[in-house]
Structure 1
Amino acid sequence: MLVLRRRRVAVRLDRRSLVVCAVLAAAVAAVAVLALMTGSYQLGPGQVVSALAGGESGLVHDIVVEWRLPRVAAAVVFGAALGVSGAVFQSMLRNPLADPGIIGFAQGSYTGALIVILVVNGSYLQLVGGALLGGMATAVVVYLLAYRGGARGFRLIIVGIGVSAMLGSINTWLILQADLEQAMAAAAWGAGSLNGVSWGQVVIGGACIAVLLLLAAMLSRPMRQMELGDDAAASHGVRVSPTRLGLIVVGVALTATVTAAAGPIAFISLVAPQIARRLARTAGITLAPAAFAGALLCLAADYIAQHVAPTPLPVGIITVMLGGGYLGWLLFVEARRRL
């Protein structure tokens, strides 16, 4: 452990986690430069770095800064948000399957945003509000249905899967009832895509996500203590119920912010925390490595979707393909562990 002290404040940092975060950050930077170079108009790494530093003007500057950089920045910021959201729920429920998409919270955010798109035709801020309300309403419903003298993680997951399936049917019905143009736009957006992301959405979404990540960092210590159980956490002075409520709000808000901008990007919040935990070799889920792993996964998946696939695809299709295989492997490992 690395201990940093300044007056009455002391911070303990795991050395291996710091190294993992540094390596993941370097990988994110490398993939980002590659994504900024690649396209119908090829650029060299020197041109990209010069454009980012303000040394280019004209066409090269427009391609890098105005056209490609918003997409890359959105992939990094939104991927980090999804990684932290998954880490929060997996730590809080003490289950590697506790993903906002699997337990229905992402589907609820999608429903709220879909209502704003098809009924209100609102702005991005209205989309964020609708997605947040939809996700929080779904969280309340799942929590109440799963509560039997307490809300156990496995019961929440099973109930969430059922609620997610019901919301999926509602979303399909909403799209079928809409006009053809609205239905096609909503269906394309529902696949999870960064195609229409603008600088405005990146700035607004990034500011919201920065505040939520700060709140998650403030709750990280009691969150780790709650992994020992509610009674043990309470004996260490943790206010369990308010902390759990705060974690749910932060996790749902992170998912809702991403869903409002890019649609539901599946499986990153499931995969990133587990990859980060295995790389850092920590006893539980940690937020910082999960954020960097989520950013790398989202950015790499978007690069594959745009430049490796035979035809450009929404990033959500690639994450479903990769995450579905990981989910099957995870279920197999958990089943063997219980035998």
Structure 2
Amino acid sequence: MRFERKVILESSVVLEKREQAAKVAKDLQSQLERVVFGQQDVIQSLLVALIAGGHVLLEGVPGLAKTLLVKSLGKVLDCRFSRIQFTPDLMPSDITGISLFDSNKNEFVFRQGPLFADLVLADEINRTPAKTQAALLEAMQEHQVSVDGTSYALSSTFTVVATQNPVESEGTYPLPEAQLDRFLLKLNLNYPNEEDERTMLTAMNGLGQSSWHPENQVEKVAGPADLANFRELAQATKVDQAVLDYILALVRNSRELPQVELGASPRSAIMLLNAAKALSLLRGRDYVSPDEVQSLVLPTLRHRLMLSPEAEIEGITEDDCLEMLVKKTAIPR
């Protein structure tokens, strides 16, 4: 009887924590929507990645508030935020840090680079050469940087949100497959609809001079400690074997699509699972349903497929292939 009571009490405490996490996530989204208009799905997916402990690649033409979104996210989370403007002459030491000789101490002292933050905005990531991209890859994969043979640990909530412009290709360095695979989600930003754009224009007009820095209009909602708690709750989300089999079927079927030369890797299945758990938490659920999985197939897998030359010539996109994949894969009942 005591054991049963303890289980009930523990369950009620966890349920209360989940409800609180869902409420905080809703507040986070509301704050971000105060300054970024018409991108509700992108904002939610960004929160999913944060809770799942993954990195995000934002792709969109200039002027869609990619930078503003990430800067505002740093504000509402009250976390250490840094921005790196990637350029062709950026060196690895510019982002990792450097060892400098301290004449007073008569020894080398490590000066941390901008990667030592909770949230890092990597602006125009495809404009820097492979050597600097490799340094970022180590940080994303290992949560550490290596300088002069010494490894330095990064923040436990270290998250990279990178941006790139899909239109301009001159002076860019395409991201290698290994680095693309380290991004949990790839989010495509599109133009807002007319009503959202009108709302944005009206809101910015009302801010006056403050419209130059709209990120200052958002308020703190949570902190790094809350984020760590959300990640723990997300990982405890229950997943039925039928849902696990559904994720597996999606990933394996992606390799059989005739338009695809290289399908999703086994790591993709783990990424999709973690993202679905995080989305379930945002929705206030303690279990993952096929609906969460379907919602995240495109952002989780679109950058992990390699199309065949014939498909590219025909103008078929990765999203087209993934939509076909979802339709042909049986949904568990």
Name the TM tier (shorter chain).
Answer: under 0.3
Q: Normalising by the residue count of structure 2, what TM-score does the alignment of the two structures yield?
A: 0.27
Q: Normalising by the residue count of structure 1, what TM-score does the alignment of the two structures yield?
A: 0.26
| Bigger RCO of structures 1 and 2 (CA < 8 A, at least 6 apart) | 1
- From the CA coordinates, give the structure whose radius of gyration is larger: 2
Structure with greater strand share of residues: 2
Structure with greater helix share of residues: 1
